[in-house]
């Protein structure tokens, strides 16, 4: 139950960075940001309506209903060869066969690939077919999405209903966190895994959870999808920090007075300690990529599965050294 909440807490460090980006963006955008205009008029609403109605015939073709043993959900096709985005809690594990119903009611199958259980992002692959699948593009600059911007949601709430078809919701972005978008597009069971679109018709989020109020609808943003893309395509599972295979190294970092990434502490018995990482080491690079801040380092480590080997370049007392560290699984008792 709580595992779905942990991401919100866990990414506190990343959150601040995104905040700075948002702040910078808001400054750059200045007063031109229409969504911030205090009063809406009928013309503005009609513009929203005409935009949605223009995009809908195309984007709805990429929406699918997904049926697993445990219930029904939604998903969205994002490539001609049938790559599918959904929520991690829909398949629950890689390699699961799922029944998929397309917008026109035709039925096919898909197999789940990898997933990031920390954020509820998952990939699946539709059965190969000769004809290209209808698909929508995903948005790669979701961090720029601002509270107040209009968006729209599609899904199959309550399950696939042929007489009804997909259900549309139009609303606004209420807030953005490092991994999620909150909107007032009202969702319910069965919508899980369905797409949230911006007004260029790109997917910006995947429906994930609801809280009690009608304005509290949470979508996984494209950020974790893009971050974990390679791992998910390889059918890897990124689990919660505590329990996870998502790269347990066992060091605590701090930004030094010289604004370098330094090791503050090494956890007893961790892969880092076994490899010889010491408190006070400055982390220069991982697998050849220069490390400049904590977020980058965290993301780099987290993107690797347990068992992967990292080459870490360190400096201490002016002397550089390179270590190989094999990432481990975080011990369960510490995770819970």
Partner 1 sequence: MTNEEFRMTSEAPNPNNEQRAAPSVGAISSFGLRHSFVIPSFFIRHSASLLLLSPLLVLAEAPRPTLPLEQRTNGKQTLAAVEKLKPLTTACAARIESALGRAICAATIVGEDGYVLFKASEVPDLGKARIKFGDGRTTELREVHRETSLDLVMAQAVGITGLRAVSFGAARPLAMGHWLCSVADAGKEPRIGIVSAKIRRIPGTGAALGIRMDEKTPEGAKGVRIIGIASESPAEIAGLQENDVLLAIASKNVAQYREVHDIVNKRQPGEIVEIRYLRKNKEETCRVRLASRTKVLQNWEGEDFANGGISLRTDNFPEVLQHDIPLLPTDMGGPVATLEGKVVGINIARVDRVTTFALPVEAFWTEAQQWMQADRHPPKAVRAE
Catalytic: 3?
no
Residues in the chain, total: 336
The residue (of 125 and 295) whose beta carbon lies closer to partner 1 is 295
234 binds partner 1 per the rule CB under 8 A: no
177-196 residues near partner 1, rule: CB under 8 A = 177, 182, 184, 186-192
The residue (of 39 and 131) whose beta carbon lies closer to partner 1 is 39
112 binds partner 1 per the rule CB under 8 A: no
12 binds partner 1 per the rule CB under 8 A: yes
Site track for partner 1 across 24-63, x = CB under 8 A: --------------xxxxx-xxx-xx--xx--x-------
The whole-angstrom separation of Cα 316 and Cα 56 is 58
- Between strands 309-316 and 282-286, the pairing is antiparallel
156-175 residues near partner 1, rule: CB under 8 A = 157-159, 161, 163-175
The whole-angstrom separation of Cα 105 and Cα 251 is 51
The residue (of 132 and 269) whose beta carbon lies closer to partner 1 is 269
278-317 residues near partner 1, rule: CB under 8 A = 294, 298, 301
Q: Which long-range contacts (CB under 8 A, 24 or more apart) does 294-300 make?
A: 294/13, 294/253, 294/254, 294/255, 294/261, 295/13, 295/14, 295/17, 297/253, 297/261, 298/13, 298/14, 299/14, 299/227
* Nearest-approach distance from CB 216 to partner 1, in angstroms: 9
65-104 residues near partner 1, rule: CB under 8 A = 68, 70-73, 87, 89
8 A C-beta contact, residue 307 and residue 326: yes
**Of residues 112, 119, 179, 208, which one binds partner 1 by CB under 8 A?**
208
8 A C-beta contact, residue 82 and residue 62: no
Say which of 74, 180, 192, 221 is annotated catalytic: 192
The residue (of 82 and 152) whose beta carbon lies closer to partner 1 is 152
21 binds partner 1 per the rule CB under 8 A: no
* Nearest-approach distance from CB 20 to partner 1, in angstroms: 11
- Residue 163: count other Cβ atoms within 10 Å of its Cβ: 4
* Nearest-approach distance from CB 80 to partner 1, in angstroms: 25
DSSP assignment of 68-131:
ETTEEEEEEE-STT-EEEEETTTT-STT-EEEEE-TTS-EEEEEEEEEETTTTEEEEEEPP-SS
- Residue 122: count other Cβ atoms within 10 Å of its Cβ: 31
The residue (of 23 and 80) whose beta carbon lies closer to partner 1 is 23
Residue that has been written with the tokens 């987290």 in this structure? 302
* Nearest-approach distance from CB 189 to partner 1, in angstroms: 3
322 binds partner 1 per the rule CB under 8 A: no
The residue (of 75 and 171) whose beta carbon lies closer to partner 1 is 171
331 binds partner 1 per the rule CB under 8 A: no
Catalytic residues: 89, 120, 192
């Amino acid at each position: 139950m709580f595992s779905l909440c942990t991401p919100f807490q866990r990414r506190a460090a990343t959150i601040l960075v995104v905040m700075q980006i948002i702040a910078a963006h808001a400054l750059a955008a200045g007063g031109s940001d229409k969504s911030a205009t205090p009063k809406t008029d009928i013309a503005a609403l009609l513009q929203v309506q005409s935009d949605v109605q223009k995009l809908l015939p195309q984007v709805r073709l990429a929406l699918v209903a997904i049926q697993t043993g445990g219930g029904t959900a939604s998903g969205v096709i994002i490539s001609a060869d049938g790559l599918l985005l959904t929520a991690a809690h829909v398949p629950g594990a890689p390699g699961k066969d799922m029944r998929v119903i397309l917008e026109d009611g035709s039925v096919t199958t898909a197999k789940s690939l990898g997933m990031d259980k920390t954020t509820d992002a998952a990939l699946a692959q539709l059965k190969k077919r000769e004809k290209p699948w209808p698909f929508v593009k995903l948005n790669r600059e979701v961090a720029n999405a601002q509270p107040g911007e209009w968006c729209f949601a599609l899904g199959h709430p309550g399950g696939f209903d042929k007489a009804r078809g997909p259900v549309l919701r139009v609303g606004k972005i209420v807030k953005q966190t490092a991994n999620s978008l909150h909107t007032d597009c009202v969702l319910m069971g069965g919508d899980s895994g369905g797409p949230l679109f911006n007004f260029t018709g790109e997917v910006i989020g995947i429906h994930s959870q609801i809280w009690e109020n009608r304005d509290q609808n949470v979508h996984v943003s494209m950020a974790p999808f893009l971050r974990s893309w390679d791992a998910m395509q390889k059918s890897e599972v990124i689990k919660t920090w505590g329990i996870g295979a998502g790269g347990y190294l066992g060091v605590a970092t701090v930004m030094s007075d010289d604004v370098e990434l330094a090791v503050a502490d090494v956890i007893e018995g961790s892969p880092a300690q076994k490899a010889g990482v010491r408190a006070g080491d400055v982390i220069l690079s991982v697998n050849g990529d220069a490390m400049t801040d904590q977020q980058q380092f965290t993301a780099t480590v987290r993107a690797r599965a347990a068992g992967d080997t990292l080459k870490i370049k360190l400096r201490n007392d002016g002397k550089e050294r390179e270590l190989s560290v094999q990432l481990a699984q975080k011990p369960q008792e510490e995770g819970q």
